[in-house]
């Protein structure tokens, strides 16, 4: 097929005017908790020291120990934390998905929580959370060297339009993506103390191993 002829190939560049529409969003909520982060961080350190040691894939978390998780549930600050999370869950599914919430309350929401304390050898491989609608993280002790949590595009097939480009894209001081405006590969969030996030549980995410630094903790 012959190319379409134009009257003057030297005409000034003049694309059509219009608007780009970013469709099919993935909602992620970022908020702040007004709790005693130092007190909570100390509890996290104390409880994780009693996790079974020797396996860097499990020794940093109370996820696998019911007794240690129950100890966290009995802390004086935990009830306030849990209520805020449950209320935020209700608001999220109401705002984002129009899910009826008249029959949902703090007493019939299943909130499964655990403590992670990452040191130098620890990382969390790419995963999502099955049998769950929303997932989240509350950050009680971070600094400028803390590794970010990384989320992956749930529609990875859409990134074919990159043509090999994974350019860094800064959205805010804490959010940085890789990809192009029309197709993001991943999104990183660099937390600060008191931040919490909620996201759909189907989102694949990972926490990379820390770069070598003495006394690293997150």
What is the maximal distance between C-alpha atoms in the chain?
78
Q: What is the pLDDT, as a whole number, of residue 2?
A: 66
Q: What is the pLDDT, as a whole number, of residue 183?
A: 81
Is 96 within the bounds of a domain?
Answer: yes
- Tokens 């005409």 belong to which residue? 11
Structure tokens that stand for 176 in this block: 């940085």
Is 177 within the bounds of a domain?
Answer: no
Q: What is the pLDDT, as a whole number, of residue 171?
A: 86
157-195 CB burial, b ≥16 within 10 A, e <16: eebeebeeeeeeeeeeeebbbbbbeebbbbbbbbbebbb
Structure tokens that stand for 195 in this block: 């931040």
Is 45 within the bounds of a domain?
Answer: yes
Q: What is the pLDDT, as a whole number, of residue 208?
A: 78
CATH number of the domain that 43 lies in? 2.60.120.620
Is 42 within the bounds of a domain?
Answer: yes
Structure tokens that stand for 129 in this block: 């959370």
The DSSP string of 97-124 is: H----TT--TTT-------B---TT--E
- Tokens 């937390």 belong to which residue? 191
**Number of domains, the chain:** 1
Distance from C-alpha of 145 to C-alpha of 216, rounded to nearest angstrom:
8
Q: What is the pLDDT, as a whole number, of residue 215?
A: 58
Which phi and psi angles does 85 have, rounded to 5°?
-65, -40
pTM of this structure? 0.85
Is 139 within the bounds of a domain?
Answer: yes
Is 157 within the bounds of a domain?
Answer: no
Is 82 within the bounds of a domain?
Answer: yes
pLDDT in tens, the chain (218 residues): 666 666 666 668 889 999 989 888 999 999 999 999 999 999 999 999 999 888 877 888 999 999 999 999 999 999 999 999 999 999 999 999 999 999 999 999 999 999 988 876 666 788 899 999 999 999 999 888 788 899 999 988 777 766 667 788 888 899 999 888 888 889 999 999 999 999 999 999 998 776 655 555 54
Listed in sequence order, the residues at least 6 apart from 137 whose beta carbon sits closer than 8 Å to its beta carbon are: 149, 191, 196, 197
Is 129 within the bounds of a domain?
Answer: yes
End-to-end CA distance of the chain: 60
Q: Which domain holds residue 37?
A: 29-148+190-207
């Amino acid at each position: 097929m012959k190319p379409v002829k134009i009257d003057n190939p030297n005409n000034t560049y003049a694309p059509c005017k219009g608007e780009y529409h970013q469709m099919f969003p993935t909602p992620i909520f970022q908020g702040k908790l007004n709790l005693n982060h130092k007190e909570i961080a100390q509890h996290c350190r104390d409880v994780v020291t009693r996790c079974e040691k020797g396996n860097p894939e499990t020794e940093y978390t109370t996820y696998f120990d019911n007794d240690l998780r129950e100890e966290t549930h009995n802390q004086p600050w935990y009830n306030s934390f849990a209520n805020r999370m449950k209320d935020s869950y209700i608001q999220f599914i109401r705002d984002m998905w129009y899910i009826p919430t008249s029959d949902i309350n703090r007493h019939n929401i299943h909130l499964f929580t655990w403590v992670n304390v990452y040191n130098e050898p620890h990382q969390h491989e790419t995963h999502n959370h099955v049998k769950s609608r929303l997932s989240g993280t509350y950050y009680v002790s971070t600094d400028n060297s803390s590794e970010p949590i990384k989320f992956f595009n749930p529609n990875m097939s859409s990134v074919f339009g990159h043509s090999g480009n994974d350019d860094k894209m800064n959205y805010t001081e804490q959010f940085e993506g890789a990809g192009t405006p029309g197709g993001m590969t991943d999104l990183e969030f660099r937390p600060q103390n008191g931040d919490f996030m909620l996201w759909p549980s189907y989102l694949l995410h990972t926490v990379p191993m820390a770069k070598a630094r003495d006394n690293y903790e997150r």
